[in-house]
Amino acid sequence: MTDKQSARETEQRPVLVVDFGAQYAQLIARRVREAGVYSEIVPHTVTAAEIAAKNPVGIVLSGGPSSVYEPGAPTLDAEIFTLGVPTLGICYGFQVMAQTLGGEVANTGLREYGATDATVKGGGGVLLAGQPEQQNVWMSHGDQVSRAPEGFEVLASTAVTPVAAFGDDARRFYGVQWHPEVKHSDYGQGVLENFLHNAAGIANDWNSGSVIAEQVAKIREQVGTARVICGLSGGVDSAVAAAIVHKAVGDQLVCVFVDHGLMRKDERAQVEQDYVAATGIRLVSIDARDQFLTALAGVTDPEQKRKIIGREFIRTFEQAERELMAEAAADGEPIRFLVQGTLYPDVVESGGSPGAANIKSHHNVGGLPEDLDFELIEPLRALFKDEVRAIGRELGLPEVIVGRQPFPGPGLGIRIVGEITFDRLELLRDADAIVREELTAAGLDQEIWQCPVVLLADVRSVGVQGDGRTYGHPIVLRPVTSEDAMTADWARVPYDVLSRISTRITNEVRDVNRVVVDITSKPPGTIEWE
């Protein structure tokens, strides 16, 4: 079997999540994938012809903040319902389906928000099969479906909403007023899986192994005998992207690792030793610590810091690129491709779609220049972060890299509020290492999305250490929970863990005499401080 045949045969027909402006559209797509089914997000402006061209196995209509009666409210091409594709409507999408197919949606003045008791009727049909008659669901709506379209059976109701779920088995159209994608709906994942597997008949065969096989075949076909370059940051995304490409083309790939001096403790060693040992990838390391510190001397403005770090990274990468291009030319095979660890949330948020090729500044340390004469390879472009981690483990990458928290491209440079100096970086590195050690020891790595550790370098406070007064810096802990970093809440870290962290930092890290915790959600705060 040829590589082209392999790529074609492993391609997945998607379930399309139609986004009506819901904050949970990405979450729905993730929940579908958790059920072993590949999903993609499309805007509500998508036409029936565009849907048909994607040849989906199912459609999910997301919720949204609008009322179906508002002027200019998001609508859906009615022809989509003539394509014969199994469809599930959620919240606003449920109401759009009902209205489009001849049902009635009313604004009765009765609203339901948050936890709500729902009653399953007549066994729940295919959609709610196997679920208890009384269950807790998560609602967020003002309008409600007052009459189901012809051919639909009412499957659930609440005290306020007579038609809280419906189904038409003949056309395989279903809908629920609640949000099954959120954890607050007790049997929400079961609703999605009943729709996907039982109503739509979709197999749960999409997994990390199938992704790897598909991408390896595609990359081999795309690259041929040319050479490939990758800027390896030490983070999860670039590490997994490079590992997939290496599995596809082996020594045709060379990775460039720039040590800008803004990394966390031991990260350079983890890349140069653990990662290389696990993958066999050829790695070119560049020690540019003095170069970056010199350029950042005296700078306190966070945006200026980012620009300087980005500029110096580009300069360093371009120099390495020139040297490797000369080497490749001497061997007769040019470097034609650049690997990037672009993820699906990046694609959705930038308005792109799988297959588009743009180099975005948020995908790497400050943004590689757009005039680099390379074709892009983005093997993770259709994946969410948790899926990338699963693929990294499948490829045998070290857990210290695969399980690493998200880390900003400019590194510790934007976690020092004030001027960046070598001593301040060392201080912050030590404090950050203690925090990561204690969170891991407490078994909190899977519960906390990210925990930036921030040094308020230009702030000092009075303290008492030993027998004397001190005038030291405060360290800020920013532990957050999140699904995708678009929104976040502060993590409720147990007090005993916070106590150990505070005690260790003030005892072991010089010039620090105070530890504080940031308990701001996003919004209004961002996850990083700068």
Which residues are catalytically annotated?
Answer: 91, 179, 181
Burial class (CB in 10 A: 0-12, 13-18, 19+), 263: buried
CB-CB contact of 359 with 367 (8 Å): yes
- HEC string of 420-432? CCHHHHHHHHHHH
Q: How far is CA 343 from CA 94, 348, 354, 407, in A?
A: 29, 9, 10, 14
- Within 8 A by CB and 6+ apart from 463, the residues are 469, 470, 471, 472, 506, 513, 514
Q: How far is CA 412 from CA 124, 276, 309, 424, 454, in A?
A: 53, 24, 11, 10, 8
CB-CB contact of 408 with 302 (8 Å): no
3-state helix, strand, coil in the chain (%, to 5): 40, 20, 40
Report residue 288 as tokens: 């540019």
Q: Which helix (H) or strand (E) holds 117?
A: strand 112-120
Q: Where are the beta strands (DSSP E) in 204-340?
A: 227-231, 253-259, 282-287, 335-339
- Within 8 A by CB and 6+ apart from 437, the residues are none
For residues 459 and 509, give the distance between their C-alpha atoms in angstroms, rounded to a whole number: 16
CB-CB contact of 257 with 283 (8 Å): yes
